[in-house]
Amino acid sequence: MKSHKSGRRAFLHRSVQALGLLGIVGCDRLSQNESFQKLLSTGETLSRVAHKTLLPRKAMAQEFGERDLSPSFRSNGTSNPENPVYQALAANGFQGWKLTVDGMVEKPLQLSIAQLRGMPRRTQITRHDCVEGWSAIGQWTGVPLAHVLDAAHVHPDARFVVFHCADPMDGPGSAHYYESIDFDDAFHPQTILAYELNGRELPIANGAPLRLRVERQLGYKHAKYLSRIELVDSLRNIRGGKGGYWEDGHGYQWYAGI
Ligand SMILES: Nc1nc2c(c(=O)[nH]1)N[C@H]1C(S)=C(S)[C@@H](COP(=O)(O)O)O[C@H]1N2
Ligand SMILES: [Mo]
């Protein structure tokens, strides 16, 4: 068996090579530099370098201009949840709706749309890619998920964010849609809880009153009709254990990077 140390040294070597490939540093010079080696050898720097600099996962998704907007943004999957509680909230303009944030947090939250609208906001024009073979470019406005998570004081052992939705997937009373992401995506600047599409209140067909935008992933990760955000340290105990409705039942990949 390979020792932990040699595995890690190999990883560091790859990391330094990758830095060089990215053109960030001159590979040879830097890998011979003693203080840089020392820097890399601390665990904290290792994970920061690995997660925040090296892996393409930290990249931003492409953003577009207003002239690129699709004439209409189609609806896919659920277009109007078959859920009497949801229907009652919708009939009242979502006045009584609240987003629950709970699980591994020190400060569980219940947030109204007015409260979410009062938080910092981000607007982005991005392309949505569905595995079923269509794409659309839309403008989304919402609160960065990072802001909501920070407000809830996430427990240091938490590792995943689970999104529970209001729509039952197999008729009234059946299990609801759900999805999950890790912290790389949860704290990414383009990951937002959107309440507007193309400058207007989010339509029911597209997930009103609140839906996830996680721009570097395929369409099915973008959970609509959010009702609850749960922080967990493992996906094992969530439903089928694979982290999402499509992952559990239909063999889709949990990491749906584009
Ligand atoms: N709650 C919920 N979220 C969902 C779905 C769904 O059926 N229910 N469908 C997913 C899929 S497959 C896609 S492509 C997008 C579609 O988003 P849209 O309806 O705004 O086009 O939502 C995703 N999120
Ligand atoms: Mo999709």
Written in H, E and C, the secondary structure of 178-235 is EEEEEHHHHCCCCCEEEEEECCEECCHHHCCCCEEECCCECHHHCCCCEEEEEEECCC
Quick one: which ligand is closest to 136's CA?
1
Region 66-250: CATH code:
3.90.420.10
pLDDT of residue 58: 74
Burial 207-231, CB ≥16 within 10 A → b, else e: bbbbbbbbbbbbbbbbbbbbbbbbb
- The answer for residues whose C-beta is within 8 angstroms of residue 44's C-beta and 6 or more apart is none
Report whether residue 219 contacts ligand 1, using a CB cutoff of 6 Å. yes
pLDDT of residue 151: 98
pLDDT of residue 27: 39
CA of 181 to the centre of ligand 1 (A): 15
Testing ligand 1's pocket by substitution, the residue of 220, 227, 247, 248 carrying the most ligand atoms inside 8 A of its CB is 220
**Residue pair 212/222 in contact by the 8 Å Cβ criterion:** yes
Flag the least confident range among 20-24, 97-101, 159-163. Answer: 20-24
Report whether residue 160 contacts ligand 1, using a CB cutoff of 6 Å. no
- The 10s digit of each residue's pLDDT in 223-246 is 999 999 999 999 999 999 999 999
Alpha carbon distances (Å) from 158 to 102, 225, 234: 11, 23, 8
Tokens of 159: 């590792």
Report whether residue 86 contacts ligand 1, using a CB cutoff of 6 Å. no
Q: How far apart are CA 65 and CA 126, in angstroms?
A: 9
Burial 135-150, CB ≥16 within 10 A → b, else e: ebbbbbbbbbbbbbbe
Testing ligand 1's pocket by substitution, the residue of 78, 163, 177, 224 carrying the most ligand atoms inside 8 A of its CB is 224
Domain ranges, ordered by start, for the chain: 4-54, 66-250
Q: Which long-range contacts (CB under 8 A, 24 or more apart) does 210-213 make?
A: 210/99, 210/113, 210/116, 210/142, 212/145, 212/163, 212/179, 213/124, 213/126, 213/140, 213/142
**Residue pair 27/33 in contact by the 8 Å Cβ criterion:** no
CA of 45 to the centre of ligand 2 (A): 37
What does R_g of the chain's alpha carbons equal in angstroms? 20
Q: Which residue has the higher pLDDT, 15 or 184?
A: 184
CA of 136 to the centre of ligand 2 (A): 11
Q: Which residue has the higher pLDDT, 51 or 73?
A: 73
Q: What is the mean pLDDT of the chain?
A: 86
pLDDT of residue 109: 98
Ligand 1: which residue has its CA nearest to atom 2? 224
Report whether residue 228 contacts ligand 1, using a CB cutoff of 6 Å. no
pLDDT at position 148 over 50: yes
CA dihedral 163, 121, 125, 140 (to 10 degrees): 50
Ligand 1: which residue has its CA nearest to atom 21? 75
Q: How far apart are CA 114 and CA 237, in angstroms?
A: 33
Testing ligand 1's pocket by substitution, the residue of 129, 215, 222, 227 carrying the most ligand atoms inside 8 A of its CB is 222
